[in-house]
């Protein structure tokens, strides 16, 4: 199994091109199941999760083509891909595929809307919490679906004539449930309202793609989405937005190590809460034409308290990276995780660097230390794994990060992007 080796202590200086957002690309790929016409996606990141979802969609009968670079196209631009579900040949998403990636469960919405039947395995993914699918199923029931659980599979059937519009009030903000119900509602008869909908930029990206395909959706960017069902959706060409989590990750790496890094393609409005916190911690954050510039001032890092919240709050997917940053801040910081109940598995690994972190329920307390020391550490999930890389970039001596397959799920060319800015980092073949 591959590992990453780092030798810490180098400032990061240079430019990093931000890739397309994994959390937008996956639901956009799934949306191809809603139409028998081609859906073209641009700026698709080259990630293990994208490849896994390709296998799942191909199992349903989606033809997938990857196109080459175009003349004049800049380095670092994502893939251009066409997804064509002319015929859905199988409405079952089997355990051996769905168990490897939670987002693949979202196929249940388009399959049910278009084919009126779906049999989808209960999902897998990172072990960061239970993340039940109750909200998904509640929403689909409100659209008229009958739901049964049979042998670890969700079996969903639409009424005769297809799904019908309904009023869905999500008990808790859920990105996955919002994606799934919104996609299903586009082909339902009548009007669907989703209250307490997620507002993440990835939701907006998918909603705007569905509108380009012919869907009728209003309230995009608010907590209330209204979808007027249509009989048929068509094809479209859609660009995947830049990855705000990758943006925040590299911003924190720059703040941790010092230096001056320009994050090309980054959109500050997609992670303003995190950028505000970075500024409070002592980093210089400036929106410039075409991206964001991060510098560390000469006064060191200051401890900042953070509470994790759905967008537009501080994102849970940046919690581990921020914790790594706070390990070398001056003072004591507190982080309250409110989204997932088991997202502190990286604490023990960060403490192996000499960090001082304790956890009491939802709250992690981080007492800053002047130096970290390189260590052998092990990744526990996607975002936790990159927090160990951030710590290793600043730690004295050598760090080895094991089980980095998690990183390949969500970060494109991580080593190349960091080494291009002066980091001493390499992948060691397992």
421 noted as active-site residue = no
Q: Which residues are annotated as a binding site for phosphoenolpyruvate?
A: 22-23
Residue 276 CB contacts under 8 Å (≥ 6 apart), including other chains = none
Q: How far is CA 335 from CA 281, 285, 303, 344, 366, in A?
A: 14, 21, 11, 10, 8
Burial class (CB in 10 A: 0-12, 13-18, 19+), 222: exposed
Q: Which residues are annotated as a binding site?
A: 22-23, 102, 172-175, 317, 339
The CA distance from 15 to 184, in Å, is 40
The CA distance from 42 to 54, in Å, is 15
Burial class (CB in 10 A: 0-12, 13-18, 19+), 149: exposed
Scanning 186-308, the segments in alpha helix (DSSP H) are 201-212, 244-257, 272-281
In the structure encoding, which two tokens stand for residue 423, read together?
């980091």
Residue 92 has a CB neighbour count (10 Å cut-off) of 17
Contact between 43 and 239 (Cβ < 8 Å): yes
The CA distance from 206 to 212, in Å, is 10
Q: Which of 6, 93, 120, 126 is catalytic?
A: 126
The CA distance from 245 to 367, in Å, is 25
Closest of 263, 296, 262 to residue 279, by C-alpha: 296
Contact between 249 and 263 (Cβ < 8 Å): no
Give catalytic residue positions. 126
């Amino acid at each position: 199994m591959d590992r990453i080796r780092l030798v810490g202590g180098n400032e990061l200086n240079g430019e990093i091109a931000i890739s397309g957002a994994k959390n937008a690309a996956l639901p956009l790929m799934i949306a191809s199941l809603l139409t028998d016409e081609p859906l073209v996606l641009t700026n698709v990141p080259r990630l293990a999760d994208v490849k896994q979802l390709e296998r799942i969609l191909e199992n349903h009968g989606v033809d997938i083509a990857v196109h080459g670079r175009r003349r004049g196209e800049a380095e670092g631009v994502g893939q251009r891909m066409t997804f064509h579900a002319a015929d859905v040949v199988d409405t079952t998403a089997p355990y051996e595929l769905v168990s490897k990636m939670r987002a693949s469960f979202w196929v249940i919405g388009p399959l049910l809307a278009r084919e009126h039947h779906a049999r989808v395995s209960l999902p897998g993914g990172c072990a960061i919490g239970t993340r039940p699918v109750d909200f998904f199923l509640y929403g689909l029931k409100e659209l008229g679906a009958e739901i049964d659980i049979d042998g670890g599979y969700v079996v969903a059937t639409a009424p005769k004539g297809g799904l019908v519009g309904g009023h869905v009030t999500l008990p808790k903000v859920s990105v996955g449930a919002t994606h799934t119900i919104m996609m299903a509602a586009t082909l339902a008869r009548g009007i669907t309202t989703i209250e307490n909908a997620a507002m993440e930029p990835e939701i907006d990206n998918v909603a705007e793609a569905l509108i380009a395909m012919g869907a009728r959706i209003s309230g995009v960017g608010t907590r209330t989405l209204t979808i007027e069902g249509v009989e048929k959706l068509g094809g479209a060409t859609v660009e995947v937005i830049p990855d705000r989590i990758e943006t925040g990750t590299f911003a924190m790496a720059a703040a941790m190590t010092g230096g001056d890094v320009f994050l090309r393609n980054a959109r500050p409005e997609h992670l303003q809460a995190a950028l505000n916190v970075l500024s409070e911690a002592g980093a210089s954050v400036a929106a410039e034409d075409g991206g964001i510039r991060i510098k560390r001032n000469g006064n060191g890092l200051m401890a900042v308290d953070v509470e994790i919240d759905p967008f537009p709050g501080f994102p849970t997917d940046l919690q581990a990276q921020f914790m790594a940053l706070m390990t070398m801040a001056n003072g004591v910081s507190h982080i309250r995780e409110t989204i997932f109940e088991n997202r502190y598995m990286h604490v023990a690994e960060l403490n192996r660097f000499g960090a001082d972190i304790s956890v009491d329920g939802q709250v992690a307390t981080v007492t800053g230390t002047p130096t970290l020391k390189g260590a052998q550490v092990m990744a526990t999930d996607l975002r936790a794994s990159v927090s160990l890389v951030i710590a290793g970039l600043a730690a004295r001596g050598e760090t080895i990060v094991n089980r980095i397959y998690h990183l390949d799920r969500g970060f494109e060319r991580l080593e190349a992007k960091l080494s291009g800015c002066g980091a001493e980092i390499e992948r060691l073949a397992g």
